[in-house]
Amino acid sequence: MVKTISAIFLFIHGFAHTVGFFVQWRIIKSNDMPYSTKLFYGKLDAGNAGIRIIGLIWLSIAIVYVFAGYGILTSKGWWNTATLIITAFSFIFCIVGLPDTKMGVVANIIILVFIILNQRFEWIG
């Protein structure tokens, strides 16, 4: 049960990262995350090309989260390391995207706490 819930959480978190790609590439509009070239609470302007690169990074993070979820479901030994690394990247990019990405910061903290507890209690191998 823990394995399934954890994988679903990673899939959902990965899906949430796709919004960063779709908005930055102007494929969709979102009231929760409006298109902007500004980062760090609007203090840094990445420009249109820069924000598209950021969008590609959001998409890459999303894809790795899907693979990490797959790794959990199929009991691959690398899921823990992959999840830890991608969560570090996710956390950094959520900080860069604040204030629009505050829920992502919370989700990343939950994932990191889970990874630490899983190492202690070995809920997932």
What DSSP assignment string belongs to the chain?
Answer: -HHHHHHHHHHHHHHHHHHHHHHHTTSS--SSS---SEETTTTEE-HHHHHHHHHHHHHHHHHHHHHHHHHHHTT-TTHHHHHHHHHHHHHHHHHHTTTTTHHHHHHHHHHHHHHHHHHHH-S--
Q: What pTM did the predictor assign?
A: 0.92
Question: Distance between alpha carbon 79 and the CA centroid of its chain, in Å?
Answer: 15
The single-letter code of the amino acid at 23 is V
pLDDT string in tens for the chain (125-residue length): 899 999 999 999 999 999 999 999 999 998 888 899 999 999 999 999 999 999 999 999 999 999 999 999 999 999 999 999 999 999 999 999 999 899 999 999 999 999 999 989 988 87
- What is the Cα–Cα distance from 106 to 103, expressed in whole angstroms? 5
Pick the closest to residue 93 from 50, 47, 58 (CA basis). 58
How is residue 120 written in tokens?
A: 């202690």
